[in-house]
Structure 1
Amino acid sequence: MVGAAVTRARVLIICAPLAGCTGVQSPLAPAGDQASALSSLFALMLWVCGIVYVIVLAGIAWALWRTWRRSSAAPSGSGGDESPDRVLTRTLPVAAGAIVAGLTVLIVGSFWADRALFATRGAPALMVRVTGHQWWWRIQYHDPATGAWIETANELHLPMGTTTRVSLGSADVIHSFWVPNVAGKLDMIPGRRNLIDLTPRREGWFRGQCTEFCGTQHAHMAFDVKVESPAAFQTWLAMQAAPARRSADRGARLFAGPCAACHVVRGTGAGGRAGPDLTHVAARQSIAAGTLAMTRGNLQGWIIQPQALKPGTSMPAVPLTPADANAVADYLASLR
């Protein structure tokens, strides 16, 4: 039994580096045009640098062999080898030419990859604004039909095969936006807006992450990314634009107290802007910026003790009795 466990451990250790080559958060499993361009550039750099590495090792081995042969032949008086100066004079131009050729290939590859990062030179099909907060994401979609901005939080939906231009900003410190499977990363800087294009080519769920240390909960500042067909995206966006269902139950009345000071639930009196929009919170895959799965129990736990689950978060512990917290969790679980 011990031997089998040791063998499994060794296999896991050997295979662990390969875990980053696939999955929902891997730049080596591209699912979008921009990620594919960066992956191709990475492969090009790997090939060029790998060839240079092999050539350098071969040169070192050849030099060591020549030195050994010269030292072995010295006692017998045989010395027919070329002088080091003549060898250097002959090989230096070849080496310099190879270096220039390799750098030229990398420069051209970088240029074309950089051009591919902005797929749409004119107006993109969809505009999205993403604003980083400590530690969550405000996400707003521009509705071309009405001109309105439809707000959600911590979950980015993208239509497959369509270019979405994302405007990135920050409400507090420097954050960094990265969806490895779809595109490269870009910083989110307070006081300015940076633009990035996303053109996904494969449906499914992916994971985005803040990649600039932004405080104690930086590791728990993630977001879910759903790539779906254009028709499914339009259906989802129409659902997000709709107000929440009206409710007169106890949970809704309790939420209209302290919770409404920080959160929006469109269609109700809750209009706070300090925290995420909760109009359709139960339709999301996770809560607390990817920290917890979206379940009824996690919702209640987050309401009662957010600081225990995500220390340092801006959400305070709301003084509710267990029965009141249960009622508020029931209400939030109904917001789909």
Structure 2
Amino acid sequence: MLCRSARLSMALLAFPKNQTPLDPAGPQARHIEHTFLLIFWITSIVYAIVIAVLAIGVLRARSREAGIPAPFTPDPAVEKKAARIVGGALIATVILITIMMVSSFVTSHRTAALADQPALRIDVYGHQWWWEVVYPNGAAPSRVIHTANEIHVPANTVIDIHGTSRDVIHSFWAPNIHGKKDLLPGYENDLTFKVDSPGVWRGQCAEYCGMQHAQMAFDIVAQSPDEFEAWYRQQLKPAADPSSPEAERGRTVFLSQACSLCHTIRGTIAGGTAAPDLTHLASRSTIAAGALKNNVANLTAWVLDAQKIKPGCRMPPNLMNSTDLNDLIAYLETLQ
């Protein structure tokens, strides 16, 4: 039975907030939003003025009498007035571009300000097409947590996302939290942010990375410090022993099939690293990097033939009889 805080977290995950930079959940996103709105309104007003001037010119031309135009004779007064208008427009353009440039510099400085503060480090590795999430906790191997596609963080705490890619170029982007950060194979990048209050915000790979790029999502789950600590302690535990004959047999099926070659379940002999750690699979809101809600029907369809759901993913079809499949799902459902 899930504790009350865990059930609340699952409920929040089931209804994540919109993925938008216009609903900032932290100081970095707010700085970015302010700069975006400044540039948006400046460019919108300039666009409206240009269209209005163009429309006036067209209407004036249409109102003139048709026929052969008279030879053009420059009027010094008109030429002088036009020169002043063009000069004023040029000066205004330089001023507006300078304002936008300074605002961008200030935003870059402010979004990087947290990088000098002590932070909770979380390692994020992009894969085709899922996110590996590791809480290294310094040099204490017994305190390291491996999970996938959900990044739990304590609210109002500085977080350092230390990321890279395991295959092609990916880009880590949670627009409610911060700007995007590219993850390149062989290089390591850091993204520092803080979330103001508990909630759930969706993120996405923002660099085209192949066939299932659009279905490479993740959730940032901000919790109170107490709830985060409770979640952390639960994640440290190995998989619970099956509590029913079906789940017991399901564990045998898992360990005897190819599943254990790719996935890890701590507390068992399964130690594969090519795919997500499943030790606490049932505590996650989604599977397949946000492609499906984590429920029995979706989990069954995914295990049976993931290629029908996410063509091109690394998980092959698993041909097994209905009894083995049902028992396997019963076991996976116990991995809280």
- Structure 2 length as normaliser, TM-score? 0.84
Contact kept, 8 Å, 2:17 with 2:200, in 1: the verdict is no
Distance 1:312 1:57, change over 3 A: closer
Q: More displaced, 103-112 or 25-34? A: 25-34
CA distance in 1, matches of 2:147, 2:93: 50
Contact kept, 8 Å, 1:126 with 1:142, in 2: the verdict is no
CA distance in 1, matches of 2:125, 2:237: 22
Which residue is equivalent to 2:148? Answer: 153
Which residue is equivalent to 1:312? Answer: 312
Q: 1:121 aligns with which of 115, 120, 123?
A: 115
CA distance in 1, matches of 2:101, 2:259: 54
Distance 1:94 1:305, change over 3 A: same
- Count of residues in Structure 1 that have an aligned counterpart in Structure 2: 309
Distance 1:283 1:303, change over 3 A: same
Whether 1:181 and 2:176 are equivalent positions in the alignment is: yes
Whether 1:169 and 2:168 are equivalent positions in the alignment is: no
CA distance in 2, matches of 1:65, 1:177: 50
Displacement of 1:117: 2.1
Distance 1:193 1:287, change over 3 A: same
Distance 1:316 1:58, change over 3 A: closer
Whether 1:134 and 2:119 are equivalent positions in the alignment is: no
Distance 1:156 1:30, change over 3 A: same
Contact kept, 8 Å, 2:117 with 2:158, in 1: the verdict is no
Q: Which runs of 5+ in 2 are unaligned?
A: 1-15
Displacement of 1:122: 2.1
Displacement of 1:61: 5.6
Which residue is equivalent to 1:283? Answer: 283
Q: More displaced, 158-167 or 321-330? A: 158-167
Contact kept, 8 Å, 1:24 with 1:205, in 2: the verdict is no
Which residue is equivalent to 2:211? Answer: 216
Greater length-normalized contact order (CA 8 Å, ≥ 6 residues apart): 2
Displacement of 1:67: 7.0
Q: 1:31 aligns with which of 25, 29, 36?
A: 25
Which residue is equivalent to 2:324? Answer: 324
Contact kept, 8 Å, 1:131 with 1:169, in 2: the verdict is yes
Amino acid aligned to 1:304 = L
Displacement of 1:179: 0.9
Displacement of 1:202: 3.5
CA distance in 1, matches of 2:111, 2:144: 25
Which residue is equivalent to 1:6? Answer: none
Displacement of 1:224: 2.1
Alignment of 1:1-336 (within 5 A): 23-60=17-54, 83-144=77-138, 146=140, 148-247=143-242, 249-257=248-256, 258-336=258-336
Contact kept, 8 Å, 1:117 with 1:196, in 2: the verdict is no
Deviations 1:98-144 (A, max 9, x none): 11110111011101111122232324321011111111110011325
Amino acid aligned to 1:238 = R
SS in 2 for 1:191: coil
CA distance in 2, matches of 1:66, 1:121: 57
Displacement of 1:244: 1.2
Contact kept, 8 Å, 1:119 with 1:163, in 2: the verdict is no
Distance 1:242 1:70, change over 3 A: same
Contact kept, 8 Å, 1:246 with 1:268, in 2: the verdict is no
SS in 1 for 2:93: helix
Contact kept, 8 Å, 1:32 with 1:200, in 2: the verdict is yes
Distance 1:203 1:82, change over 3 A: farther
Contact kept, 8 Å, 2:121 with 2:159, in 1: the verdict is yes
CA distance in 1, matches of 2:81, 2:57: 11
Amino acid aligned to 1:300 = T
SS in 2 for 1:120: helix
Contact kept, 8 Å, 1:34 with 1:116, in 2: the verdict is yes
Amino acid aligned to 2:327 = A
Q: More displaced, 90-99 or 212-221? A: 90-99
Give aligned-pair identity as a percent.
42
Distance 1:195 1:29, change over 3 A: same
CA distance in 2, matches of 1:232, 1:145: 24
SS in 1 for 2:116: coil
Displacement of 1:38: 1.2
